[in-house]
């Protein structure tokens, strides 16, 4: 991709302003983070130009993530824009990548590694959990606890056990 702008159409937008679109050149799906759609004031059915990067969280469903958007009609320079650095990549992708690399991690460990507050990290991890991208293990230090002492996160259940296989109880 090398930072080039690709034309996309916004096809779906959630109340959170997280959006989805399609590339006009090949019809593949594009994830548009709320942070990008809010800044650019994206609306449903808008045709825009976007810098796309591979989606490492759900490439089989949505192979691209828009990291920058320009409205249609905006002058687009023919020369490539430098590849986005990790600092401007979505926090979701950074959180997912760390969980994937580490095997499993607590919310606090992910927070420290990604450099985001524990509260924001917890929000991202819960969103990834709701979308089926990660799994969650709640650890209770005492039987009477209503809330877990901490949560552990992984890509699949097998990563929580030493022999790499998950067992049903």
Q: How many CA atoms lie within 13 A of 3 on its CB side?
A: 11
Cβ count near 136 (within 10 Å): 14
Residues 6+ apart with CB under 8 A from 131: 57, 58
CATH annotation of 5-84? 2.40.50.140
CB half-sphere exposure, 28, CA atoms < 13 A: 16
Indicate if the pLDDT at residue 108 is higher than 80. Answer: yes
pTM over 0.75: no
Give the confidence band of 86 by pLDDT, cuts at 50, 70, 90.
Answer: very low
pLDDT at 126: 86
Q: Which CATH number fits domain 90-160: 1.10.10.10, 3.40.50.300, 1.10.3860.10, 3.40.50.2300?
A: 1.10.10.10
Q: What are phi and psi of 94, to 5 degrees?
A: -65, -40
Same fold? 5-84, 90-160:
no
What was the pLDDT predicted at 82? 52
* Domain edges within the chain: 5-84, 90-160
Per-residue pLDDT tens over the stretch 128-158: 888 888 899 999 899 998 888 889 999 888 8
The pLDDT score that the predictor gives to residue 85 is 44
């Amino acid at each position: 991709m090398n930072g080039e702008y690709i034309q996309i159409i916004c096809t779906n937008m959630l109340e959170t302003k997280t959006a989805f679109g399609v590339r006009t050149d090949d019809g593949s799906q594009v994830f548009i983070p709320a942070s990008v759609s809010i800044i650019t004031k994206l609306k449903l059915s808008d045709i825009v130009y976007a810098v796309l990067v591979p989606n490492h969280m759900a490439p089989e469903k949505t192979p691209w993530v828009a990291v920058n958007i320009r409205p249609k009609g905006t002058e687009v320079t023919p020369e490539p824009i430098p590849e986005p650095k990790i600092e401007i990549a979505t926090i979701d992708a950074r959180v997912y990548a760390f969980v994937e690399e580490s095997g499993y991690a607590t919310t606090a460990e992910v927070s420290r590694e990604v450099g985001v507050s524990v509260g924001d990290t917890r929000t991202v991890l819960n969103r990834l959990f709701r979308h089926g991208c990660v799994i969650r293990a709640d650890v209770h230090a005492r039987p009477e606890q209503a809330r877990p002492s901490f949560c552990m996160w992984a890509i699949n259940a097998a990563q929580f056990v030493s022999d790499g296989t998950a067992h049903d109880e």
